[in-house]
């Protein structure tokens, strides 16, 4: 039975016999073969995203993660969560995602929060979810700011607070998050955490539709119908 080092050497030996997918990638593959973790991550991403070959990409991401490369750990967590080129393993995915989060990767912090919220690889834990999503939101990640706004709006894992919800939606909206813009519009429309202004609110929601918000596209008709109905 081969140990990890023997398996690694066999992998390198085998890969040396396989040319890069394109000549332009030859130098990147050589850097990955030399043990450069950043190159391993980049080569894995290229194989997965440009060539749709998750099976070939997986071992490269795994090698980067084994070197404690933060992007490698985050990437491998995504592979294991989605079953890209491997069998899904939610517990291992969470462990890697949390390691990347603790190392400061803001996307990993946000995703760890979602894992705890939805129970991926663990029991649902809204306190942990709120802690990690808040970390990512405070670091400036628009997606986390939007999600935090939703949590405060609905009172999920935290006391319902419309003003706090609007504050987070505004931060995300300022970065162009279309769904946050829609919810900011609903806040003005109904006066939730801000002074009620249905005309302004509907205008903001319509802007969100133009920006491609899927949430706005699903729900704006309800607000348009309310606006067209005499009170």
pLDDT higher than threshold 60 for residue 2: no
What's the average model confidence in pLDDT over 153-159? 95
pLDDT higher than threshold 60 for residue 1: no
140, 106 in Cβ contact below 8 A? yes
Residues in the chain: 231
What is the pLDDT of the chain when averaged over all its residues? 93
| b/e 142-157 (16+ beta carbons within 10 angstroms → b) | bbbbbbbbbbbbeeeb
For the stretch 9-28, pLDDT in tens is: 666 666 655 667 777 788 99
pLDDT higher than threshold 90 for residue 228: no
Closest CA to 171 of 199, 198, 138, 201: 138
For the stretch 190-212, pLDDT in tens is: 999 999 999 999 999 999 999 99
Backbone angles phi, psi at 16, to 5 degrees: -65, -25
What's the average model confidence in pLDDT over 29-57? 94
Helix or strand holding residue 158 (H, E): none
Report pLDDT for 229.
78
For the stretch 109-146, pLDDT in tens is: 999 999 999 999 999 999 999 999 999 999 999 999 99
**6 pLDDT tier (thresholds 50, 70, 90):** low
For 142, residues 6+ apart whose C-beta sits below 8 A from its C-beta are: 171, 172, 175, 176, 177, 180
- In the chain the first and final C-alpha atoms are separated, in Å, by 77
Both structure tokens of 58? 């997986």
Report pLDDT for 37.
97
Cα distance between residue 180 and residue 10, in whole Å: 49
């Amino acid at each position: 039975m081969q140990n990890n080092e023997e398996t690694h050497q066999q992998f390198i030996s085998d890969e040396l016999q396989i040319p890069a997918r394109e000549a332009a990638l030859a130098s990147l593959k050589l850097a990955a073969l030399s043990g450069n973790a950043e190159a391993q991550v980049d080569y894995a991403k290229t194989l997965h995203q440009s060539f749709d070959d998750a099976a070939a990409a997986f071992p490269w991401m795994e090698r980067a993660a084994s070197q404690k490369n933060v992007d490698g750990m985050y990437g491998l967590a995504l592979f294991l969560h989605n079953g890209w080129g491997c069998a899904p393993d939610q517990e291992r995915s969470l462990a890697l995602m949390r390691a990347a989060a603790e190392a400061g990767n803001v996307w990993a912090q946000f995703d760890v929060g979602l894992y705890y919220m939805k129970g991926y690889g663990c029991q649902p834990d809204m306190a942990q979810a709120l802690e990690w999503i808040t970390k990512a939101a405070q670091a400036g990640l628009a997606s986390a700011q939007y999600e935090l706004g939703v949590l405060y709006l609905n009172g999920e894992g935290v006391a319902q607070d419309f003003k706090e919800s609007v504050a987070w939606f505004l931060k995300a909206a300022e970065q162009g998050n279309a769904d946050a813009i829609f919810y900011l519009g609903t806040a003005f429309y109904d006066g939730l955490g801000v002074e009620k202004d249905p005309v302004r609110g509907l205008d903001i929601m319509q802007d969100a539709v133009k920006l491609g918000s899927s949430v706005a596209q699903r729900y704006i008709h309800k607000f348009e119908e309310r606006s067209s109905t005499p009170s």
